Amino acid sequence: MSFFRPHIVAMTGYTPGEQPRGDKVIKLNTNENPYHCSPKVKAAIGRVVTQGLQKYPDPAATAFRIRAGDVLGFEPDWILCGNGSDELLTILTRALVGPGDCVRFAYPSYVLYKTLADIQDARCDLVNFNADWSLGDAFTHSGAGTPRLAFLTNPNSPSGTVVPPERVAALADALPCPLVVDEAYVDFADTHCLDLVRENEKVIVTRTLSKSYALCGLRFGFAVAQPHVVEQLVKVKDSYNCDALSIAGATAAIDDQAWLAETRGKILATRGRLTERLRQLGFDVVDSQTNFVWATHPSEPLEPVYQQLKAGGVLVRYLNYPGWGDGVRRDDGLRVSVGTDEQIDACLALLASLLP
For residues 225-254, which are near a second copy according to CB under 8 A? Answer: 226, 228-229, 232, 234-236, 238-246, 249
Is there binding between residue 8 and a second copy (CB under 8 A)? yes
Which residue in 225, 256, 55, 239 sits closest to 149, CA to CA?
Answer: 225
- Cβ neighbors of 330 (< 8 A, separation 6 or more) are 296, 297, 298, 302
Residue 82 CA to residue 89 CA, distance in Å, equals 9
Is there binding between residue 54 and a second copy (CB under 8 A)? yes
Is there binding between residue 217 and a second copy (CB under 8 A)? yes
In the 8-state DSSP scheme, what is residue 308? Answer: H
Is there binding between residue 49 and a second copy (CB under 8 A)? yes
Is there binding between residue 178 and a second copy (CB under 8 A)? yes
Interface of this chain with a second copy, residues 275 to 314, rule: CB under 8 A: none
The one segment of 46-54, 134-142, 154-162, 312-320 that binds a second copy by CB under 8 A: 46-54
Count of CA atoms in the C-beta half-sphere (13 A) of 213: 28
Is there binding between residue 148 and a second copy (CB under 8 A)? yes
Residue 256 CA to residue 138 CA, distance in Å, equals 41
Residue closer to a second copy by CB (options 14, 107) is: 14
**What is the closest distance, in whole angstroms, from the C-beta atom of residue 22 to a second copy in the complex?**
11
Is there binding between residue 146 and a second copy (CB under 8 A)? no
**What is the closest distance, in whole angstroms, from the C-beta atom of residue 293 to a second copy in the complex?**
19
Residue 58 CA to residue 70 CA, distance in Å, equals 19
Residue closer to a second copy by CB (options 96, 106) is: 96
Is there binding between residue 212 and a second copy (CB under 8 A)? no
* Interface size with a second copy, residues (CB under 8 A): 81
349-to-28, 142, 343 alpha-carbon distances in Å: 14, 44, 10
Cβ atoms 82, 237 nearer than 8 A:
yes
- Cβ neighbors of 308 (< 8 A, separation 6 or more) are 350, 354
**What is the closest distance, in whole angstroms, from the C-beta atom of residue 14 to a second copy in the complex?**
6
The one segment of 48-56, 154-162, 165-173, 290-298 that binds a second copy by CB under 8 A: 48-56
Is there binding between residue 27 and a second copy (CB under 8 A)? yes
**What is the closest distance, in whole angstroms, from the C-beta atom of residue 133 to a second copy in the complex?**
25
Which residue in 207, 258, 202 sits closest to 225, CA to CA?
Answer: 202
